Amino acid sequence: MPSHPSLDRLEAAVQVGQSAVDAAVHTLRRGPGADVDQVVAYDLAHAASAAMAARSMLDYAACGELESDLAAAFVAEVLVDLCARVVGREEAWGLEPDWWAPAAAFLAEFRSPAFLSSLCGQEGPSHLDSDFELVRDTFHRFAEDRVRPRAEEVHRTNGDVPEDVIAGLAELGGFGLSVPEEFGGFASGTESDYLGMVVATEELSWGSLGIGGSLITRPEILARALLKGGTEDQKRHWLPRLARGETMAAVAVTEPDYGSDVASLATSATRTDGGWLIRGVKTWCTFAARAEVLMLLARTDPDRTRAHRGLSMFVVEKPQTDGRGFLLTQDQPVPGRLEGRPIDTLGYRGMHSYELSFEDWFVPEANLVGGEAGLGQGFYLQMQGFENGRLQTAARALGVMQAAYEAAFRYASERRVFGSPILDYQLTRAKLTKMAVTIQAIRQFAYRVARLMAKGEGALEASMVKAYGCRAAEWVTREAMQIHGGMGYAEEVAVSRYFVDARVLSIFEGADETLALKVIARRLLEGG
């Protein structure tokens, strides 16, 4: 069996991967750019994200022998994945064919089937301090007692998020995690705000992605946008309501022809007496029926050449409705309509997504975020919320992965094939180990990003942990489903829900391809 790897050896292995990333960045900078060399740029973005996750495991490895073993297993997998991206494209990456040779001995030891099998069942501690362990325990109990018992029913019937779950989460303070104390929330302006959000979101998503972890995402996005650019009156009016769960929010940004290409949005806001008239169509507006307000991005400058500089943000009020679609009307100042058509999805049920059609829907002047100073600032205010939303989405991925891993381990312990539990088979054990170390690595990466964002940094890293974590969730839930065999394909088994829920994670809060090419690769080529 391999010995426990030293920190120096782990660092050297991580550096092999980082050097390959650095070489690709240097090579692409001399070419036409990420928009042309898209295949390499996409792989580079994911490789750089994986390398950052591996680096996050170095501090974890310093905590003990088990932690160093888990780190070694993860770093080895990162290097192998990087090799798969590079082979046959060495010239495009600026690498020699044997670039990975300095890590050959490391890979031989820490990818060996015997080593991986020996780690089966070892998840490793999270190394949170006692305050955050209390947060974890509190939200875990809520997820276990209030969310999980309802999750399957909502998924199977495509039902609504139960009102008692919303009320219970409000009582717990879940909607106030990012709202400052002066506005009735629990945020103190320290790194605990971001870490607490990550921990709480993971546990709620462990209960259910659709009716747990995603409930606090939209209030989080709107709250951070208001804190960044809202007027004092807007902050004092909306933030306490968001923190109490009294006002539920949805986000209306995406349009049928424009998803991640926010600068091209066409929905318009035209001045009228006392406010604005909204015209246009938004799509994939999750939770729009239940929400009382929509965070809406609209074009206030009709000059389309101004692109994102012509967009402004509004808080659009509407009545609460159920999940079967809705048609709302206004009489004053002119006849207005807001129609919501539900979009059926294969997973992520409970929240419900909608296509929204606005016809002269009136929004008061007071609901233009930032007032006159907010004109043309909508894109930047949205990004303030979305950057943290990406970190939160990584935390949602963690919760889904953890739930899938636990289900797979439990089933593998109980299911007997050819006279033995499938947990005794080397292949099963190696799969479970890879799942566990991947989850722990992304968890440590998310904690690191949370600490960076608390210092006003970490925008690139938030995109990286979202991109890497959400793709990993697809693999982990697939393998968990596979370990269940035929039962994994049955709707009555929760692991099938984890699989279809995980699939959406790489799509929302920045589609994977756009996030990789337009954010991660571009910033790497610009120098971070």
Tell how strand 249-252 and strand 293-299 pair up. Answer: parallel
Phi, psi of 212 (to 5 degrees): -125, -85
pLDDT in the model for residue 258: 67
- Alpha-carbon distance of 396 to 380, in angstroms, equals 24
What residues contact 323, with CB distance under 8 A and at least 6 apart? 158, 159, 160, 289, 290, 342, 352
Categorize the per-residue pLDDT at 412 as very low, low, confident or very high, splitting at 50, 70 and 90: very high
Asked whether the bond before 333 is cis by omega within 30 degrees of 0, the reply is yes
pLDDT tens for 225-253 read 999 999 999 999 999 999 999 999 999 99
Dihedral over Cα of 63, 469, 242, 139: its sign: negative
Examine the pLDDT at 189 and tell me if it is beyond 90. no
Query: For the residues 154-179, what does the mean pLDDT come to?
Result: 93
pLDDT tens for 46-84 read 999 999 999 999 999 999 999 999 999 999 999 999 999
- Alpha-carbon distance of 61 to 64, in angstroms, equals 6
Query: For the residues 361-389, what does the mean pLDDT come to?
Result: 91
Do 311 and 297 touch, CB atoms closer than 8 A? yes
pLDDT in the model for residue 1: 58
Examine the pLDDT at 8 and tell me if it is beyond 80. yes
What residues contact 134, with CB distance under 8 A and at least 6 apart? none
pLDDT in the model for residue 511: 86
Class of domain 249-374 (CATH, top level): mainly beta
pLDDT in the model for residue 259: 58
DSSP state of 282: E
Examine the pLDDT at 87 and tell me if it is beyond 80. yes
pLDDT in the model for residue 528: 58
Closest CA relative to residue 514, chosen from 247, 289, 264: 264
pLDDT in the model for residue 14: 97
Examine the pLDDT at 363 and tell me if it is beyond 80. yes
Spans of all domains in the chain? 7-118, 249-374
Burial per residue of 55-79, b for 16 or more beta-carbon CB atoms within 10 angstroms, e otherwise:
bbbbebbeeeeebbbbbbbbbbbbb
In this prediction the pTM is 0.93
Examine the pLDDT at 261 and tell me if it is beyond 70. no
List 123, 387, 474, 509, catalytic entry: 509
pLDDT tens for 271-324 read 999 999 999 999 999 999 999 999 999 999 988 778 788 999 999 999 999 878
Phi, psi of 370 (to 5 degrees): 90, -5
Residue 509 falls in the annotated catalytic set = yes
Helices (H) and strands (E) in the chain, counts: 18, 10
| Stretch (H or E) spanning 270 | strand 268-272
- Alpha-carbon distance of 351 to 342, in angstroms, equals 10
CATH code of the domain occupying 7-118: 1.20.140
pLDDT in the model for residue 385: 78
pLDDT in the model for residue 498: 96
DSSP state of 120: T
pLDDT in the model for residue 191: 83
Q: How far is CA 413 from CA 70, 409, 469, 484, in A?
A: 21, 6, 26, 11
pLDDT tens for 100-150 read 999 999 999 999 999 999 999 999 999 999 999 999 999 999 999 999 999
Examine the pLDDT at 509 and tell me if it is beyond 90. no
Tell how strand 293-299 and strand 275-286 pair up. Answer: unpaired
pLDDT tens for 457-485 read 999 999 999 999 999 999 999 999 999 99
What residues contact 384, with CB distance under 8 A and at least 6 apart? 224, 225, 227, 228, 229
Query: For the residues 159-169, what does the mean pLDDT come to?
Result: 94
